[in-house]
Structure 1
């Protein structure tokens, strides 16, 4: 757990937070400056956990919300990006661990956003909330839209496809949608849960089945070529950020996505062999 250094917003001219205090925005706390990745995609996460803002015709979709209280940074980051006046219409939570759902209720309350999760993920978020304490204490969000099966949803003119991919947790879903770079469209994918922490062979097998499912889906034309991992070290996000402004968009890479999938499969298979 990251150690929190609390900073006070000192003046009315400071970026507006959801409460009087926010964690100090420094490297020790894992703060990174937000940035634009694609025409319609912005990174608003921290050093350890990803959070993305997707621009639609109706406002913004936020994917994953960081641990609380680091989620307080998300509205600040949106303001820095010039997105302060855009409503957050939906919050998509890939699974119920606190580092992904911790800020969902906070944002839901501020913006009136609809939270989209599986029932199992929502139940896990309640368990995680009950265990949270001190400065990391958070409330679970209300579940507005339940993902019950592989399905799709059009939000603000943009289609988001949801695939149930359990294994990291029982309630994981993965996301498939289109991003744009200089008007050109590319297929992005977010794998809902990285790695399998259980030593139960059935759970490991479930995770491998999900990875195989993702591989088959992602190879359907057009092939996935944008890996929007929900942890930035999994897709070399910050290394690629340094390449922005050079030749081409460094976040467009089939190799990045399929290398990540193979890594996940190999790690899970290695666990099985050790049992």
Structure 2
């Protein structure tokens, strides 16, 4: 079911997308050009982040992708995707149950799409042990309270984003029909989540929100272990410095550069984002489904991962170098 309430932070994105094109500064254009050069032909998806009014891409994905539910997909021996073309849930199967990254946009989506999707993949929703919410916006925590009540799943966010979630205006909660989950786990930087045979390392990467969470996720492909780099953020905030609702562009850039180093140290071979339109994940899911006997399209190599974060870095520099009135990504 498509929600009538736009996720926190995306309402202004939608409005801003209709604005006139900004007059970019030469310095910002130079950084965007660097990002395009790094992107080449195989990493173009995140380049919309370099545009002053790239929020139009987010608006289109929200309005159309939210209504287009993808076929539940097995990406690796023990990693799955259930969601739509805008946002969804990565599911890591372990020897002791399931770990979910995000919880869809609403309780209705969790009940009517996520759970049936898990069942179609042969996964038992009653074995959901943890839900790692990458950040405290509706489109990521919407189904968390229902999963918590229904299956006893433990919900995890960073301290800063628990506060962000808990400050959601009461009228917005009432309109959406979404209940807030109760605090279970407060994620700390570098924390290891261990469940059965699996260890997932979590990092607090502020920027998009005050305490967005990213992760190094181990996966198996035909029995061989690989690490993937999951960034818990997408759209850029409107302000350079932190506010009550965002970490700010400076913090986002620092987080990207730091998480790039963490990903390199972990020999991460691919990238993930629960906003599957934003980094090419949607296309890789389609490629995997169409040609399952070919090499896994998510295993792109460590150089690809590094290039992805360099693109984000230069786009973030561009955002800081243009007039802040033109950075219409999120509310200040």
Moved more, 201-210 or 184-193: 201-210
Q: Which has the higher contact order (CA 8 A, sep 6+)?
A: 2
Q: Which residue in the other structure is 1:266 paired with?
A: 314
**Unmatched tracts of structure 2, length 5 or more:** 5-63, 243-247, 324-332
RMSD (Å), alpha carbons: 2.2
1:90 aligns with 2:135: no
Matches within 5 A, 1:26-41: 29-41=67-79
CA distance in 1, matches of 2:65, 2:237: 28
Corresponding residue for residue 230 of structure 1: 274
Equivalent residue in structure 1 for 2:89, among 44, 48, 51: 51
More helix by share: 2
Deviation string, structure 1 residues 23-76 (Cα, Å, up to 9, x no partner)? xxx977231111100000010121101311110111111110111132221111
Look up the match of 1:132. 173
Structure 2 matches for 1:57-68, cutoff 5 A? 57-68=95-106
> Structure 1 or 2: larger strand share?
1
- 1:195–1:267 Cα contact (<8 Å) kept: no
Query: Which one of the candidate residues 250, 260, 264 is aligned to 1:215?
Result: 260
Q: Are 2:66 and 2:85, in contact at CA under 8 Å, matched by a contact in 1?
A: no
Q: Distance between the aligned counterparts of 1:99 and 1:174, measured in 2?
A: 16
Q: Is the 8 A contact 1:234 1:260 kept in 2?
A: no
**Does the aligned pair in 2 maintain the 1:235–1:256 contact within 8 Å?**
no
Match of 1:76 in 2: 116
**1:249 paired residue among 296, 299, 307:** 296
Are the counterparts in 2 of residues 201 and 272 from structure 1 also a CA contact under 8 Å? no
Structure 1 CA distance for aligned equivalents of residues 125 and 273 of structure 2:
27
Correspondent of 1:103 among 143, 148, 151? 143
Q: Could you tell me the TM-score, scaled by structure 1's length?
A: 0.84
Deviates more, 1:253-262 or 1:182-191: 253-262
- The structure 2 residue matched to 1:146, chosen from 172, 178, 186, is 186
Q: Deviations 1:225-244 (Å, cap 9, x if unpaired)?
A: 12111210123223222322
Deviating runs (4+, > 4 A) in structure 1?
Answer: 1-4
Distance in 1, matches of 2:66 and 2:158, equals 33
Question: Structure 2-normalised TM-score?
Answer: 0.71
Long gaps (5+) in structure 1: 5-25
Which residue of structure 2 aligns with residue 16 of structure 1?
none
